[in-house]
Chains A and B, each alone.
Chain A
Amino acid sequence: MINLTLPKNDDFMAAPVFEIEKALNRIHNKKELLERVVDIFVKSLHERKDILENELNNENWETLGTIAHSIKGSSWTIGAQKLGNIAYEMEKAADLKELTRFRRLFQIFQTAAQEFIEFDKKF
């Protein structure tokens, strides 16, 4: 069923930007590994954002869904709960081919990605 209510940034405010403790627990408190993992994650965020932008113009729903799914998995793994939740909604919008909803979520995703990068820099 198509969701007619467009998502807002506030819908995702409750989720933490970056749960460092959770991420560390997941990798047995290896701080050096976490640094490497976060570097790869941030690099992939930039790459995936560019792919999403291009594929959104082509309305290539299969690729949009696959990329959103990948972002969801890696975000939740690293404790980037907010980004993971947004990506999950993007994946569902891609599945239903909801263009307006996906565009809105992509805007929210870009803001959240920037927020994650800024948060990470502080630590």
Chain B
Amino acid sequence: MNKKNIRFLIVEDDEMIRLIHKDFLKDLYPGSEIIEAENGAQGICHYFENHPNIILLDMMMPIMGGEAFLDILEEGHQCNILKDKPKIIVVTAIKEVKELMNIGKRFAVEAVISKPLVQNQLKSLLKDWIS
């Protein structure tokens, strides 16, 4: 992935956390495009519209949560409707280890990070993927 044309999608219901993610990503990759969604349903729409490379995904959100968002992407991929596989980083306040491990095994999920987010953790992940 080239940092000049990278597209991020932030799927997070909390405006405050979206702002923190966005500020961090803009600093790290000034030329990137950052798209925001307040829930999984908006996230799916933005996904089809913009084809983001990397998705920061919250799990518990009103209207549609991260679980359903992942279900739709997985189904689309299995049916060959979706060709590209994004890299998904789940950022969640879920504390149950078993639940976190199950999320980590989901389609396209590359990492699961606990809230409060440690930005250096995210930074080192992104550096492995983006040149």
* B interface with A by C-beta (< 8 Å): 13-17, 19-20, 23-24, 27, 58, 60-62, 92-93, 95, 115-119
Contact = CB atoms under 8 A, between A and B. Distances in A.
A70 B60 CA distance: 8
Contacts, number: 58
A72 B13 CA distance: 13
A70 B12 CA distance: 10
B18 to A, nearest CB: 9
A122 interface: no
A30 B23 CA distance: 10
Q: Is the interface of B mostly helix, strand, loop or mixed?
A: loop
A69 B24 CA distance: 23
B19 A37 contact: yes
Given A69-B93, A73-B116, A74-B16, 6 more contacts: A26-B118, A26-B119, A37-B16, A66-B60, A70-B14, A77-B116
Contacts of B24: 27-28
Contacts of B23: 27, 30, 33
A72 B93 contact: yes
A27 B20 contact: yes
A33 B22 CA distance: 11
15 contacts: A26-B117, A26-B118, A26-B119, A27-B20, A30-B23, A37-B20, A40-B16, A44-B14, A63-B62, A69-B60, A70-B14, A73-B58, A74-B16, A74-B17, A77-B17
